[in-house]
């Protein structure tokens, strides 16, 4: 299969050209398609390089033939000026041959330039297709990761883990609120009558260290950090 047909066939391929070897995983099929199309891109780029070299060579030879045409035309003019018709005819004949070679190189360079443009356009389309397929593959991988994460959350919820966590958080919040309320009540009692029975019981329930801090604040201390 020629390079041009190969590029077009690969560009139309949805996943991979080797149906018997297709993996069952869609993401793997997309990855295989990306790899195959990138290989085709490399091949196409090498072909473009070869065509470009051929075009430039033809253009260079054309320029040289044009220089010869100019030289023979000038030689014929000088020969005619000197009355040397034989030399003039020889120069004109060689100039015609050089002009024919130049014209053939013109056609060759134009054909190669057209071929080069077609290949570059095809490469652009194939590059766009490869990016699209690779983006689809990445999106599929990301969707799978999201589905796995969602499934894990559902499993945790069904097993009661999510409910246990929420219940533990609510219990901790209640304990913090109760402790804050007890501290506030103990501070009020200590401020009015620290020697009362209620004050002592409140201090004992809070613990010695907390009582020390409350008493220190009542006396105006506790400003150091």
Q: Given this model, what pLDDT does residue 138 score? A: 82
Supply the range of the domain harboring residue 208: 166-218
Judgement on whether residues 59 and 143 belong to the same structural domain of the protein: yes
Judgement on whether residues 42 and 148 belong to the same structural domain of the protein: yes
Whether the per-residue pLDDT at 72 is higher than 90: the answer is: yes
Judgement on whether residues 170 and 152 belong to the same structural domain of the protein: no
Answering whether pTM is above 0.85, one says: no
Judgement on whether residues 97 and 134 belong to the same structural domain of the protein: yes
Judgement on whether residues 131 and 25 belong to the same structural domain of the protein: yes
Judgement on whether residues 115 and 45 belong to the same structural domain of the protein: yes
In the chain, how many domains are there?
2
Kindly tell me the burial class for residue 207, based on how many C-beta atoms sit within 10 Å of its own C-beta (0-12, 13-18, 19 or more).
exposed
Between residues 55 and 35, the one the model is more confident about: 55
- Residue 202: inside a domain: yes
The residue written with tokens 């356009």 in the block is 121
Structure tokens at 176: 């913090």
Q: Work out the pLDDT band at 77, boundaries 50, 70, 90.
A: very high
Judgement on whether residues 76 and 130 belong to the same structural domain of the protein: yes
Judgement on whether residues 138 and 70 belong to the same structural domain of the protein: yes
- Residue 148: inside a domain: yes
Residue partners of 29: CB distance under 8 A and separation at least 6: 15, 16, 22, 23
Judgement on whether residues 199 and 123 belong to the same structural domain of the protein: no
pLDDT tens figures, 27-41: 777 778 788 888 888
CA angle 168, 185, 202 (to 5 degrees): 90
On whether the CB atoms of residues 76 and 18 are closer than 8 A, the answer is no
Of 120, 142, 159, the domain-final residue: 159
Judgement on whether residues 154 and 193 belong to the same structural domain of the protein: no
- Residue 25: inside a domain: yes
Judgement on whether residues 113 and 28 belong to the same structural domain of the protein: yes
């Amino acid at each position: 299969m020629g390079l041009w047909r190969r590029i077009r066939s690969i560009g139309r391929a949805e996943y991979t050209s080797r149906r018997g070897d297709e993996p069952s995983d869609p993401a793997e099929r997309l990855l295989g398609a990306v790899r195959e199309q990138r290989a085709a891109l490399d091949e196409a780029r090498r072909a473009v390089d070869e065509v470009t070299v051929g075009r430039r060579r033809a253009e260079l030879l054309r320029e040289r033939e044009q220089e010869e045409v100019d030289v023979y035309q000038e030689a014929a003019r000088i020969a005619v000026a000197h009355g040397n018709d034989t030399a003039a005819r020889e120069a004109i004949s060689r100039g015609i041959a050089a002009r024919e070679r130049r014209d053939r190189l013109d056609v060759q360079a134009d054909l190669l330039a057209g071929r080069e443009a077609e290949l570059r356009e095809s490469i652009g389309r194939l590059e766009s297709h490869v990016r699209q397929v690779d983006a689809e593959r990445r999106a599929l991988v990301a969707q799978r990761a999201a589905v796995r994460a969602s499934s894990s959350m559902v499993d945790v919820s069904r097993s009661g883990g999510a409910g246990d966590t929420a219940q533990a958080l609510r219990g901790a919040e209640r304990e913090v609120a109760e402790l804050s309320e007890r501290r506030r009540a103990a501070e009020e009692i200590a401020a009015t009558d620290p020697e009362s029975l209620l004050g002592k019981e409140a201090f004992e329930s809070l613990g010695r260290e907390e009582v020390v801090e409350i008493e220190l604040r009542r006396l105006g201390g506790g400003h150091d950090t």
